[in-house]
Amino acid sequence: MAKSVYIHIPFCVRICTYCDFNKFYIANQPVDEYLDCLIDEMSTRKDKVVETIFVGGGTPTALSVVQLEKLLKAINDLFTVTAEYTFEANPDELTEEKIKLLKAYGVNRLSLGVQTFDDELLKVLGRTHQSDDIEKAVKLSRKHNIGSVSLDLMFHLPGQTIEQFDDSLNKALSLDIDHISSYALILEPKTQFYNLYRKGKLKLPNEDLGEEMYQLLQKKMKSSHLNQYEISNFSRTGHESLHNKVYWKNEEYYGFGAGAHGYVDGIRYSNINPVNQYIKKLTNKEMPILQNSKVSIKEQMEEEMFLGLRMTEGVSKIKFQNKFNQSIEDVFGEDVKELINNELLIDNNDYLYLSKRGQIIGNEVFERFLLS
């Protein structure tokens, strides 16, 4: 049984310079036809009752009020959410009318794509909002009793100083929000940043500064009202992202929409990316699947480790044993020993989890759990 639902809205008012998600400039797009087909795809699900729903993009709040209500009504007709219902939003698009609509249809968590509070860096990132819009969006969310508000912040940005990142962290914490997700910039192919970098027109801070920024992030959060529960995520107690935990715990979920990914009945699948092709498939009463693959036991064990180790609690040794009828030591014994000896991994008898140093170079640790 899939515990969660991810819904993809691939439209944006502006395309950000760093983004590699499936997205399209919303002007002249067949948005209404897309929503009709998305609703048709969601109608094929097996499970009506789910724990979490996450509506992401693109930018879901790029939809008009009428389009947004159409989507919200369809989701309510098709699913019952028992725990967490999240919408991604851009601060400048989160009008009072849209917030009231989201609240009326049961959305209890907002994830705001803030990235930085520095207006010059926001321009570099291609964002449409300014720092003042962030405070307005948070205040409106509080005014209408949205249960949980999360901010996304980025670091290791072109031209970003540690002082600028420190200032963004201070401003985010001053808003008394419930959750922060903070990631270092990764240059992904097919992004504007990647193309500029290849042409020698984009300079990134050095890796040492990136590590220093991450350590500053951990230090700031440790002295704040937010607790670290994953490598890049910090929350008030009871405000962890339950939807993202489904991914990190390697549990199953539906993915709906152009370019969405899902994991159901042991099969990982991805939908086709182009909006017109997605619409054509569903109009012809066909599923919009681009590819799917049965996840082998070997792959499940790998994923159990490198996804689970992202969480500060780590990977449960008992859960691994019960799930695969083998212990972690049976499968990954030598690598686990070496990582513990190198003080990158800690074993408290019940869980394996990353040390502070292991969190900084997490990707190097995760690679050790890819079976040859």
Identify the CATH number of the domain in which residue 342 sits.
Answer: 1.10.10.920
Q: What angle do CA 173, 177, 182 make, to 5 degrees?
A: 65
Per-residue pLDDT band at 197 (split at 50, 70, 90): low
Q: Are residues 241 and 307 in the same domain?
A: no
Residue 322: CB atoms within 10 A of its CB come to 9
Q: Are residues 311 and 227 in the same domain?
A: no
* Counted domains in the chain: 2
**207 and 90 within one domain:** yes
Please tell me the predicted confidence (pLDDT) of residue 112.
97
d(CA 138, CA 147): 12
What pLDDT does residue 15 have?
A: 65
**Domain interval for residue 317:** 297-367
**Which of 197-201, 255-259, 318-322 is least confident?**
197-201
Please give the average per-residue pLDDT across 310-339, as a whole number. 96
45 in a domain, yes or no? yes
Query: Quick one: tokens of 140?
Result: 């409106």
55 within domain boundaries? yes
Residues 330 and 227 in one domain: no
Among 213, 248, 283, give the residue marking a domain's end: 248
Residue-by-residue DSSP string for 290-353? EEEEEPPHHHHHHHHHHHHTTBTT-EEHHHHHHHHSS-HHHHHHHHHHHHHHTTSEEE-SSEEE
Using one digit for the tens of pLDDT, what is the confidence trace for 21-32? 667 778 899 999
Concatenated DSSP letters for 171-226?
HHHHTT-SEEEEEE----TTSHHHHHHHTT---PPPHHHHHHHHHHHHHHHHTSS-
pLDDT for 191 beyond 80? no
**Spatial distance between the Cα atoms of 148 and 239, rounded to a whole number of angstroms:** 7
Has residue 372 got a pLDDT over 80? no
Domain finish residue from 220, 248, 276: 248
Q: Considering the domain boundaries, does residue 271 fall inside one?
A: no
Please give the Cα distance from 343 to 357 (Å, whole number).
8
Do 112 and 201 reside in the same domain of the chain?
Answer: yes
- Distance CA(215)–CA(356), nearest Å, equals 9
Residue 281 in any domain: the answer is no
Within this chain, do residues 103 and 34 fall inside the same structural domain, yes or no? yes
How many whole angstroms separate alpha carbon 71 and alpha carbon 102?
10
One domain for residues 83 and 198? yes
Res 161 pLDDT > 90: yes
The predicted structure's pLDDT at residue 21: 67
Whether residue 216 sits in one domain with residue 329: no
Question: Do 9 and 70 touch, CB atoms closer than 8 A?
Answer: no
Cα(345)–Cα(338) distance, integer angstroms: 9
- Band the pLDDT of 195: cuts 50, 70, 90: confident
Please state, for a pLDDT cut of 70, what percent of the chain lies above it.
96
CA distance 332 to 301: 10
Q: Is residue 279 part of a domain?
A: no
CATH number, position 102: 3.80.30.20
pTM of the full structure:
0.94
Distance from chain centroid for Cα 137: 20
| pLDDT tens profile 222-239 | 999 999 999 999 999 999
Q: Are residues 139 and 82 in the same domain?
A: yes
Tokens representing residue 186 in the block: 């990764």
The pLDDT value recorded for residue 205 is 75
Q: Are residues 199 and 340 in the same domain?
A: no
For the chain, the average pLDDT equals: 93
> Are residues 88 and 171 located together in one domain of the fold?
yes
- The reply to whether 229 falls in a domain is yes
What's the burial of 238, exposed, middle or buried (CB within 10 Å: 0-12/13-18/19+)? exposed
Same domain, 46 and 143: yes
Task: Report yes or no on 254 lying in a domain.
Answer: no
pLDDT at 231: 96
Query: Is 262 a domain residue?
Result: no
